[in-house]
Structure 1
């Protein structure tokens, strides 16, 4: 299962960087619950896409997971990882954007689906640089 989890992460990186919302949806359960950057709790895939992905993804580039740690129990994998990307500044420049995440993935037939996600910025890095 570890190799499937790593592939899931790589696939999601590509979809985030390509802003491919439709394909990204196929990696998540319809009833996913999440914490968001600008929303305390996001309930369901439509909410996650509308209030998190579509707000954040257009403002970043080069999103990559860094050395994920994976704990597997039965048909569930918990992933904790640092990540990095570039964020757009208000004047159109770029700044280094780093953070951490927790993901809970569940085996659903032949595929893994994310049932919980929480991505947050590293302390001290503003969500939007001036």
Structure 2
């Protein structure tokens, strides 16, 4: 169906926008991609409630410590509701992490993102994310990049 192709294209674009934000450590630029009241699974708590908490407890613990983050969007999987206002996007990612000694390691993982919107054709907004590393991947990375643009 052509309309579902449009929906999938917007889901793909959502993932591409997030990829750029992670690569450039752009927290401010990522905020419009996520609902204010997003609920995520936390690395350190069972649930993280809200975009601000997710940014501080999750994103700021990872984005500035990894490199070469990229989604494998050729393998993107989607589920779109009948009313086309809710969707699930599932993707695998690759990135480079660093040991405390600075040695690079492969840091692959996957994500499930529940997306919503008020009107068909609007950009998708994440309502829930579940991001996890593949088994056996070190959970921490110790790289250092600067936030762009810097927080005020």
The two structures have a TM-score, normalised by structure 2, of 0.80
Q: CA deviation at 1:34?
A: 0.2
Conserved in 2, the CA contact under 8 Å of 1:39 and 1:51?
Answer: no
Moved more, 43-52 or 67-76: 67-76
Kindly indicate whether residue 123 of structure 2 is the aligned counterpart of residue 123 of structure 1. Answer: no
Pick the structure with greater CA Rg: 2
Q: CA deviation at 1:129?
A: 6.7
Which residue is equivalent to 2:38?
32
Looking at structure 2, the residues matched to 129 and 11 of structure 1 have their Cα atoms a distance apart, in angstroms, of: 23
Q: CA deviation at 1:125?
A: 1.1
Looking at structure 1, the residues matched to 133 and 78 of structure 2 have their Cα atoms a distance apart, in angstroms, of: 20
Q: Cα RMSD over matched residues?
A: 1.5
Kindly indicate whether residue 78 of structure 2 is the aligned counterpart of residue 62 of structure 1. Answer: no
Shift in alpha-carbon separation, 1:129–1:21, aligned structure 2, 3 A = closer
Looking at structure 2, the residues matched to 4 and 79 of structure 1 have their Cα atoms a distance apart, in angstroms, of: 11
* Aligned residue pair count: 130
Gapped regions of structure 1 (runs ≥ 5):
none
Kindly indicate whether residue 80 of structure 2 is the aligned counterpart of residue 72 of structure 1. Answer: yes
